Amino acid sequence: MPRRITVKSAAEIAQKWADVTPARASYYEAEAPAAAAEWEANTVAAGGTYKAGISVAGIEKRFVGGVKRAGAEKFGRKVRDVGVARYAPGVAAAQADMAKGVADYVGVLEGLEIPDRGPRGSPANYAIVQKVGDALHKKRLAVLAATS
């Protein structure tokens, strides 16, 4: 005779998760960094799978659907409830990464010779912007090629 699966309500599952999971922070702290090399190797190996995944038919609709399902209310609530408290510590923790990330581009800008600025609205000023933009774009492509 058929039977039904017994399952707790979504609210009960969420309550247990919220009660139990914070106590697992020490496991996260110990085990997540230890998995870094494995994460990198597996992620690099998954490049083809990523490309296939973002190339499937209807992916744009799935993406939009996911955004709509989460919604602006959740986005704003998570910023207020989680993001604000994590913002300053996150910035502090990322300082060295920021310096490393911008160093190549700062070097490009420091080594770039540009003509004197012309009067406001001068087409020559756009040429300066073009030169800077081209140099930064070229560097970006070189950095991406070096890491792929």
pLDDT digits (tens, 9 = 90+) for 46-78: 999 999 999 999 999 999 999 999 999 999 999
Q: Which amino acid is at 79?
A: V
Q: Say what the pLDDT of residue 1 is.
A: 85
Total number of domains in the chain: 1
Domain of residue 104 covers 96-148
Q: What percent of the chain has pLDDT over 70?
A: 99
Tell me, yes or no, whether 81 lies in a domain. no
Tell me, yes or no, whether 48 lies in a domain. no
Q: Say what the pLDDT of residue 148 is.
A: 57
Tell me, yes or no, whether 121 lies in a domain. yes
pTM above 0.85, yes or no: no
Tell me, yes or no, whether 69 lies in a domain. no
- The CA distance from 86 to 88, in Å, is 6
Say if residue 33 is exposed, middle or buried (CB neighbours under 10 Å; 0-12, 13-18, 19+). Answer: exposed
Tell me, yes or no, whether 119 lies in a domain. yes
The pair of three-digit structure tokens given for residue 106, joined into one six-digit string: 């700062």
Tell me, yes or no, whether 11 lies in a domain. no
